[in-house]
Amino acid sequence: MAEIKYSFGTISITEKAKKLINEALDSTRVSSGKYVRLFEQLFAEMNGTKEAVAVSTGTDADALALAALYDFGAEWGDEIIVPALSFVATGNAVLIAGLTPVFVDVERNTLNIDPSKIEEKITEKTRAIMPVHLMGKPAKMDEIMALAKQYNLEVIEDAAEAHNTYYKGKQVGTFGIMGAYSLYVAHIITTIEGGIIVTDNPDYAEVLRSLRSHGRACKCTSCVVNTNESECKKRFAQGEDIRFIFERYGFSSKMNELEAAVGLGNMEVYQNIIEKRRENLLYLIKEFKTFKNYFFTMEEEEHEKIGPHALPIICQDNVSFTRNSYALFLEQNGIDSRNMFQSMPTQCPQFKRFGYHYGDFPSTEYIANNGIHVGVHQDLNREHLDYLLEKTDSFIKKNS
């Protein structure tokens, strides 16, 4: 019997969220409406952006942000530069949007795209760079933005795991034209499932609102029918019902009111969640230095503030044990973990057709084969963290 249950993730469903859910159920208006709009407004304010557009998943947030490029000159099949290491949703979103992923190896110490390897991948078909701020560690945005400016490329940030992440004093997700966040159940702000895209450009936001609803001509910031039960003066302004005029190809990707209610509850306790998770993350980063001959993890540098998503733990070269044996040992002792993500171009079959070969992305493949990550969430206390450290020490002593 395990002494402690150390879970990977948690969810905060507040009393306010429960109240709003019941109100939505009582009203019978549970599709996208006033709660979704309020959540969008609060999320935009939190990120310091003019607009936020809520969608059904973090994957859709990436895919819709990319698909919006078609309204601004992109063509079907254009290339998007992405890191080889990320949750597979990043690469899948490029495919979903009808674009071509071009993969770049990562830096082993940051887990993020290696800016020095981007330029060689740029072609006349390159349309955008999509950096991922993996595990809440910010990518090197100065170098990425400089390359984008030099080659006239757009930057769309995959900030799925990077809530409350800062790079040189600026919040990630706000460097490029759009930033895409996941609101999945284990993330810092959650709507159970869900995603959201932030932007300062109202033209992009308008296209995103159309894309999430099948490409409809309906793209007002706030739908009067959904939020006020009022008559829409635009409905027949073009001579046809605007709800059945489709301006572009689109998705069915709206957030609903029940999900937004959970998100609104999270926003109310956001600072408490962040503070607790940051405390947990920084404590583990510091304490894992004890095991530096066996494992490495990310470091928080002076110019950044890591968003406290999770703690990566990666085996050093030439240790006498495997990642899998460590993960199994933790599981047997009640500590839940997740493997680090696979190398998308060389370990995920859907990208095989792009012609990459194992060995093309050595840092990515090393991390994929040798890393796990564990939770740092708000329901973990110092006793949990010390238990992880104690069991890690015990594992090393047994396997060295």
The full set of domain ranges for the chain reads 15-268, 270-399
Q: How many residues does the chain have?
A: 400
Residue percentage of the chain with pLDDT more than 90:
88
Rounded distance, CA 351 to CA 344, Å?
A: 7
Is residue 191 within 8 A of residue 263, CB to CB? The reply is: yes
By mean pLDDT, which of 97-101, 171-175, 186-190, 223-227 is the weakest?
223-227
CA distance 160 to 140: 16
What pLDDT, on a 0 to 100 scale, did the predictor assign at position 236?
A: 61
| CA-based R_g, the chain, Å | 22
- Is the pLDDT at 4 greater than 60? The verdict is yes
Greater confidence (353 vs 219) lies with 353
Percentage of residues in the chain with pLDDT exceeding 70? 94
pLDDT tens sequence across 364-373: 999 999 999 9
Check pLDDT > 50 for residue 237: yes
Q: pLDDT tens for residues 35-70?
A: 999 999 999 999 999 999 999 999 999 999 999 999
Alpha carbon distance 159, 180 (integer Å): 5
CATH number of 15-268: 3.40.640.10
- CATH homologous superfamily of 270-399: Aspartate Aminotransferase, domain 1 (3.90.1150.10)
The Cα 269–Cα 81 span in angstroms is 36
pLDDT of residue 355: 97
pLDDT of 253 above 90: yes
In sequence order, which residues have a C-beta less than 8 Å from that of residue 393 and are 6 or more positions away?
Answer: 290, 291
The pLDDT assigned to 1 comes to 36
Whole-structure pTM value: 0.94
Using alpha carbons, list the distances in angstroms from residue 330 to 187, 194, 227, 334, 337. 22, 30, 48, 6, 8
Q: According to the model, what pLDDT value does residue 400 have?
A: 86
How confident is the model at residue 235, as a pLDDT? 64
Q: Which residue has the higher pLDDT, 230 or 386?
A: 386
Q: Closest Cα partner for 311 from 284, 339, 336? A: 284
If one compares 33 and 324, the residue with the highest pLDDT of the two is 324
Torsional sign, CA 114, 119, 124, 129:
positive
CA distance 139 to 161: 12
- HSE-CB at 330 with a 13 A cutoff on CA atoms is 26
- Interval 145-168: pLDDT, tens: 999 999 999 999 999 999 999 999
